[in-house]
Each structure stands twice: as structure tokens, then as C-alpha cells.
Structure 1
Amino acid sequence: MTPPPASLPEAARADAASLQAFYAREGYLSPLRVLPDGEAAGLLARLQAFEASRPGGLPQAFNAKVHLLFPWLWDLVCDPRVLAPVTAVLGPDVLCWASSFFSKAPGTETEVPWHQDGTYWGLTEPRALTAWIAFTPSTAANGGMQLVPRSHTTALPHVRTANRNSMLPAREEVSVPIPRDEVLQVELAPGEMSLHHVMALHGSERNRSDSARVGFAVRYIAGDLRQANGAKPGATLVAGLDHGTFEMEQRPAADLDPEAVQRYYAMLRKMAQAVFPERNKGR
């Protein structure tokens, strides 16, 4: 069997048809340059300034739809440079379903166990992906993402674990062996992005370097999808038409604007009811 390609060929990165073909076959696209180095550095500086201003940094409670709290993250989620390859593979109508930072400080034990994103999203179809935008270098040494190409065609069994170092909200993990000889290390420079299919098998190890790894994960879905259980949580229209399947979210007026924070918690409750309905019984 021929090994999967190590990365997206340079010649294919500006051609929509080539992006579609590679993504359909391999289940990912990487690396994609979406921001210049200086712009990525500016975004990292804004995040670090906010974290330095608050004890404990960015609260975990804010890190589910964080673009609803900061205008500069809303603008990044809606940035045409980010959306060009996203719409190439998902179609013209696209929603942002969620967004969060995956940050690993040097020497910490946090990790992302092997999993498929779509296991607990509860969508009617797997026409969805995660865009992973690097704010810092993402490498093997600092716990960069690993992925198994062509693993997106089969839903694998998962279990919920007691792993306290897991960065996943349900602490989920696949319960089958990982094909180690097929694993691809996804390496990104600041301002580069990877896309992976909602069912692509992936994970990341702890940060063994002396510098932080910071990435912004944006969950995009095709605009006509629904929650399979009939719930109608919030989503952000980023391209094309609103199909009426989600409640439309609003851009915040300023960082942590009080009205935006109030709207954020309302949307967070609706999302929890849609994704983890068993946790909300009797409430």
C-alpha cells in the first residue's frame, strides 16, 4: 500500500478543485497559509495581554464559543482568507459551530487523546471540519497535532475516560489501536492553518519543549446541517445563506462586552443541551 502524502502539494493550494479532491481522499488539508507572520504575532499578543490581565488567564467557561466574546476573534472566524479553503470543501453556505483555544504551556501534562471530532457533535451529517490556526509554531516537540490520513470514512468506537490531562470536554478517546505507521505529524508555522474532517482520527501529545504551543480551533459546518436531536442551538453565519437550522449569533461590540457575555452564556446552555442532553435532564 502506498503511504499517504506527507502534506498538501504546493501547486494544489490555490486551486479549489485540487483542494476538494485532496480533502475528499485524505480527510485533511495542511499547511495552508492564511495570515502573514506579523498578523499572527499580533493576535497572539492580544491573547497574551488578555491572559496577563486576569488571574488564571482565559477562563475555561469562555473557551467554547470564544469568538462571541472578542471582536478580533469573530473577525478571524469570518476572515475570507480562512474561509476560502473552508467553502471550497464545505460549499458556499457555512456556519461556525464553535471555537476554542488549545494552548499547551511548556512542561505541562495536558494532551489531546486520539479521537474523532464528530463523535459527540450530534449533527445530522458529517459535512463539517475543524480549522486549526497556529498562533505559535506547532511541532512534534511542543505537542502539535497528529493525524491519520484517510481515517475519516469510518466512525470508530469511543469511550469516555477519567484522564484528567485530557483537553477534550467529554474526555473521549478511541477504543481501537492507532495505526502508528500511518500517523502524520501536522507541523504549522504561525499564521498557517490545517483543516481536518470531522471524522478524521487525530490527537496530540504533551508539550515537551520550552515554549508554549497556542492554536485556535474553529469548528465549521455546512450551512444546511441540523442537530440530529432536533435542538436549535446557536451558530455564526460566516458565508452564504442562513438555512434557519440554527439560531444566529451576534458579533460582540467589544472584548467581554456585558451584553455579549450574557448572550454567550445563553448560547452555551443551548449548545450543552444539544450536545450533552443527558447532562441536562431534570434541570
Structure 2
Amino acid sequence: MSLPYGLDPITCSDFKRDGVLCPIDVMPEDEASTVRARIEVLEARSHGRLSGLARVKPHLLMPFLWDVVHDPRIVDPVTSLLGPDIYCIGSSIIDKPAGSDSYVAWHQDATFWGLSAAEGATAWLALSAANSESGCMEAIPGTHTLQMEHLDTGDARNMLGAREAVRQEIDRSSARVLVLQPGQMSLHHPLILHGSGRNVAADRRLGFVIRYVPACIRQEGATVTLVRGRNLSDMPLEVAPEDEMGPAALSRHADIIRCAGGVIRRAKEAHLAAAAQRPETET
């Protein structure tokens, strides 16, 4: 397969070793600004902010985000890392408003995803500047080789859906700050340890995040978007939205998010139950 935007072998080796790549140029800044503007038009129609439901798997509601999920400038680099058969198991509009006290606790994404194997690459596409001031992501290279124990923080300021965080103390001395300009992306492994701080900048930190896995992986009880290649795991497949926030897409989306929520809930319960059975010396 010809990959015009594919990664070279050295870069692929860097991802395998570190679990993170940043930055990768995807689109010109004005094109990223157009994607941001289209999201903000929809926000304006929803009293200034999309619902939490609409910000999860929004590519199933908004044709222009379906196109971004399939954009070869994103998918070619992912194909270089994961192979020719690729699912998108989820996408999110991630918004950290200016001056908010929201943060993302240190965690590993795949902990509650219910995957048959923790393999994949998450694309974090910046639609505004993501830097230390705006609370960009930080990641600790090399932490993707071992699943760590997580707990439920119960903190409403923690932007993670399950409010999770790793249990152990984090040594941030080797953390990498993933600075992105609008139109650039980072790629990170589902088990890389990462988090982000508050946004003290004057502008929001807005990103569109896409979670890709090889199509040999199953996420039992969920549905996926087949982005490229074959449906190797015979997962139920999602379809493109007919129009923007249309009634048919909204109805399908509600069912899909309900099922996805069940997957995460069951995986979280199983992880926390297993952690409770371990001797204290193992934590």
C-alpha cells in the first residue's frame, strides 16, 4: 500500500520505544481554524457548548469530523504504526476553557477500554494552541509497556470520563511536554502514562482526538468505525452521518454511546475489583 503521508522506519521505531510522537504536521493552520469554526457554529446553536453526549464520537454526528477521522494525513501515519486494517474505536472533542480549573489526571487510556489487547495509536489534533500555558498534554516516554493500577478520584475537575488516575506516585522528571500548533497532532500509545494541567491562557485549548486500533482487536459490546482495510474481528460497524446532527444519526449515536458506556463501566468495575484483591505490597 502506498502511503503518501506515512512514517519512515526510524520514526516508527521511536514510537515503539517511546510510545509517543510529537509534533506531526497534518493540515495548515487555516484549515484547522475552519474545523474549529464549524465546531463553534454548532456550539453557538447549543447555547455555547455542545452536550457531553455530542462531544463523544462526534464523527458519527458531524460529516466534517467523519472526514477528519478518515483523512489520509492522519490515517497514513497510523497505518505505518498499526498495519493496513484499522478501526476507530472512539473520538472526542476535548475542550479545556480558558481560565478553568479542569485538568486531566495521570492515567493510561486503555485501562477501562475493554480491549482484547492494549494496542493502538491515539491522534490528538490541535484546533487551538496546545502549550504549557494552555494545559497541553504531558507524557512519560516508555511507560506503555506495563498496565498500572488505577483508582477513581471522584474529582469533578478531572476531565476523564471515569475520573480515573494511576494509584502510584508519578515521577515527572522525564515527562515530555507535547506542544502543538493548530493543525499539528501527536500520536500516543493507549498505555502511555499522560496527563495535563489547567489552562491559564486567554484562549480555550480545543482538540479533536481519534482513537485507532488494529482491526484484529475486539472491544466486546461496542461498535467501531472501519477506517481502512478489513473488518478482521467482525465488529459491528458504524456508518457515516447523513447530515449534520440529523435525527437518524442522533438516534443511532445515542444507542452507540449507551453501549460504549457499558463497556467502560464493566471494564472499570473489573479493574477496581482486581485491584482490591491485590496485597497492599503490590500497589
TM-score (norm 2): 0.90
Contact 1:232 1:246 in 2 (8 A): no
Contact 1:111 1:166 in 2 (8 A): yes
How many pairs were matched up? 265
**Which amino acid is the alignment partner of residue 93 of structure 1?**
D
**Aligned residue number for residue 253 of structure 1:** 242
State the distance in 2 between where 1:144 and 1:279 align. Answer: 26
State the distance in 2 between where 1:279 and 1:116 align. Answer: 13
**Which amino acid is the alignment partner of residue 175 of structure 2?**
V
Q: Is it true that 1:274 corresponds to 2:266 in the alignment? A: no
1:18 Cα shift? 1.9
**Aligned residue number for residue 65 of structure 1:** 57
**Which amino acid is the alignment partner of residue 49 of structure 2?**
G
State the distance in 1 between where 2:268 and 2:112 align. Answer: 13
State the distance in 2 between where 1:204 and 1:279 align. Answer: 21
Contact 1:19 1:85 in 2 (8 A): no
Contact 2:53 2:257 in 1 (8 A): no
Provide the secondary structure at the position in 2 that maps to 1:194: strand
1:278 Cα shift? 7.8
**Aligned residue number for residue 12 of structure 2:** 20
1:245 Cα shift? 3.2
1:20 Cα shift? 1.6
RMSD: 1.6
Contact 2:106 2:196 in 1 (8 A): yes
Provide the secondary structure at the position in 1 that maps to 2:118: coil
Provide the secondary structure at the position in 2 that maps to 1:276: helix
Q: Percent identity?
A: 37
State the distance in 2 between where 1:19 and 1:93 align. Answer: 20
**Aligned residue number for residue 197 of structure 1:** 189
Structure 2: any 5+ residue segments left out of the alignment?
270-283
Contact 1:71 1:255 in 2 (8 A): yes
State the distance in 2 between where 1:264 and 1:153 align. Answer: 33
**Aligned residue number for residue 8 of structure 1:** none
The correspondence for 2:89, drawn from 90, 97, 101, is: 97
State the distance in 1 between where 2:143 and 2:55 align. Answer: 27
Contact 2:55 2:94 in 1 (8 A): no
State the distance in 1 between where 2:14 and 2:267 align. Answer: 38
State the distance in 1 between where 2:94 and 2:78 align. Answer: 20
**Aligned residue number for residue 4 of structure 1:** none
